[in-house]
Chain A
Amino acid sequence: MKIKGIKDLVIFLGPPLAILAIFVFYPILGTIIISFLSGSSFTFENYRAVLFETIPLKALIVASPGPYPPWGALVHNAVWIVIAVPAVVLLGMVLAYTLRKIFGSSIVLGIIFLGMVLPGVVSGLIIRFMFDGYIGIFPRIFSLFNIPLLSSTWTIYPETALLALILGSIWLWLGFSVTLYSAGLDSIPSSLIEAALIDGASEREIFTKIIVPQLKPVTIVVTLMTVMWILKIFDIVYVVTGGGPGGASTVLALIMYMYFASALEHNKAAAVAVILAALTLIPAYWYIRMVLSGEKYEE
């Protein structure tokens, strides 16, 4: 009996663990070690070097001579999170709630979700197109209002490149948020809302006092997932701006690739990767704790 149990474990656990060990676990450890190697010594030198690098297409914190404003990739990622996360959460929640009262809501949901299935390169090209000075939708609208800065191609000017990418990312990612909120709304007991209606609560009170608090777990998941997605963002930036112009739209994952592919500085590339992974670990840790506490609650 005992031997049979071990045999089953080897058969079922062996192959998946082997492939995870070789292609996921070993390279993660390897990257951490490489990031601390400089020459033959074990130091923080690579981290110091990448954090204080100021060449625009490699800068993490401050770029010089910088785009305007002269910030590096870490700041760009932070700005991205500060703008996109509240937008995705708010729009997602309000839309999911409104969609319940709409004809053909599943079609609308299907349209909004489209962005989630696109290959990153295609999304990038569409974003590039939306902000194209000749044929793009946004510059066309702004040219009606006679705003020259916003009427030309957004992605080739340092003032607007990052903003175009951020707005584009909201367009892409909203489907995730709306879908999760829709599922969350389905699980709110209707008796809760009926009781409030009998007590004479207004539509607005129901939304702010019942719906929003009930959706709190979904809000946390959407926030964490969106933050992780933005930290890892690469494809659309690479395709649309390549981090430019003059480093105005660089992000962490792109800087890692710059060190790795263009400069062949593997140790510094590893250091950037570890910084990126460490930042991702903050929301991931929160998410893992949430999943694990859900487990205990169940049992």
Chain B
Amino acid sequence: MRSKIFLRKLFLNLPIWIFAILWLLPFIALVIMSIKPYTEVILSGWWSIGGNYTLKNYIEVLTNPSYNFLRGLGNSFIISSLSTVIPIIFAAMLAYSLNYLSFKYKTLLFILILFFMSVPQQMVVIPLFNLYVKVGLHDTLLGIILLHSAWGVPWIAFFMRNYFKMIPQSLIEAARVDGAPESTIFFRILMPVSIPALIAASAIQFTWVWGDFFYAMVFLPTPANYVVTQRLALLKGQYHIDWGLLSAGAILTMLPPLLMYVAFKKYFVRGFIGWGVKG
């Protein structure tokens, strides 16, 4: 009887684990290719464990001035950090207004926010491109930071609003009865209890901005301003592909979001659930 249960368990577990390993296989291959000389990968395949291991690919990607990967990483880091902090503050204020202040056309504003969440990026670039060229924001980090920040506000506001709904209303009301000004309620009471939501939203927003490619291609045409995703795309030659270099570059590019994911896994997953289904 016991062995029968064990067999059933095995029968369920085995396919799922094989599935998971197959799902992970491209990542494993990427890591192996990045630490092997490419000639060996071509000759004997990345699946052969023997042979030489080297960090040459990483060194080449990071130090070769024609790839300028470090500059790309730096630009991405500046853009992603600022484009996370700014919209979080603005979106929290917007969510606060939606939940705790009373004003006309609140429902309309809420619908507009939901609508903005679903608009494709392609829908805003042409007028902004013209505007940016006119006012000198084109090809500047500031220009793309402002755009990413604005773009993040709708979904974070929606997300924060759902989170605020779960906080007992009495907390805010008690502070109001005590005569606390709204700004005190917001910064001293609401923000501290919202830290999990702030972390979740920051982690996801940072990941999305880091991964952006479309906005960067439109608004950062000069190589000195390239972000890391643009650098990586350039690393893939038109005809010849050096998978050694490319996999090292790919791993460097995905490392920051990956670390973010590992560090905040719980928040991350909850964030996605809150984004999809309402809280």
Contact = CB atoms under 8 A, between A and B. Distances in A.
Interface of A: 5, 8-9, 11-13, 15-17, 19-20, 22-31, 34, 95, 98-99, 101-103, 107-114, 116-122, 125-126, 128-130, 132, 134-135, 137, 171, 174, 176, 179-180, 183-184, 217-218, 221-222, 225, 228, 231-232, 234-235, 238-239, 253, 256-257, 260-261, 266, 269-270, 272-274, 276-277, 280-281, 283-284, 287-288, 291-292, 294
A294 B278 contact: yes
Interface residues of B, number: 89
B47 to A, nearest CB: 9
Given A16-B93, A19-B90, A129-B243, A120 B123 contact: no
B126 A135 contact: no
Interface in B115-131: 115-128, 130-131
Contacts of A276: 120, 122-123
B97 interface: yes
A111 B265 CA distance: 11
Given A24-B116, A119-B257, A256 B277 contact: no
Contacts of B117: 284
B12 A98 contact: yes
B183 interface: yes
Contact of A27 (B125, B153, B217, B260): B125
Contacts of A113: 261, 268-269
Contact of B119 (A234, A270, A277): A277
Given A235-B214, A266-B126, 11 more contacts: A15-B90, A16-B153, A27-B128, A95-B19, A119-B253, A137-B25, A183-B277, A231-B120, A253-B120, A284-B118, A288-B118
Contact of A121 (B147, B186, B232): B232
Given A281-B118, A288-B115, A34 B126 contact: yes
16 contacts: A27-B124, A28-B119, A30-B127, A31-B127, A107-B20, A111-B20, A111-B24, A114-B27, A118-B211, A119-B212, A121-B211, A171-B23, A218-B277, A235-B214, A260-B126, A272-B122
B123 A273 contact: yes
Contacts of B101: 5, 8-9, 12-13
A119 B229 contact: yes
B166 to A, nearest CB: 11
Nearest to B120: A232
The majority secondary structure among interface residues of chain B is helix
Contacts of B276: 176, 180, 221-222, 225
A25 B123 CA distance: 10
Nearest to A114: B27
A239 B230 CA distance: 10
The interface centre, meaning the residue of B126, B151, B254 with most chain A CB atoms within 10 A of its CB, is B126
A111 B213 contact: no
Contact of B250 (A125, A184, A292): A125
A234 B214 contact: yes
Contact of A12 (B186, B229, B243): B186
Contacts of A109: 269
Given A31-B127, A183-B277, A12 B93 contact: yes
Contact of B260 (A117, A132, A222): A117
Interface of B: 9, 12-13, 16-17, 19-20, 23-27, 29-30, 33, 41-42, 45-46, 90-91, 93-94, 96-97, 101-103, 111, 114-128, 130-131, 146-147, 149-151, 153-154, 157, 182-183, 186, 207, 210-214, 217-218, 228-229, 232-233, 236, 241, 243, 246-247, 250, 253-254, 257-258, 260-261, 265, 268-269, 272-273, 276-278
Contacts of B212: 119
Contacts of B102: 5
A23 B151 CA distance: 8
Given A27-B126, A117-B207, A119-B211, A135 B111 contact: no
Contacts of B45: 135
A225 B150 CA distance: 21
B124 A24 contact: yes
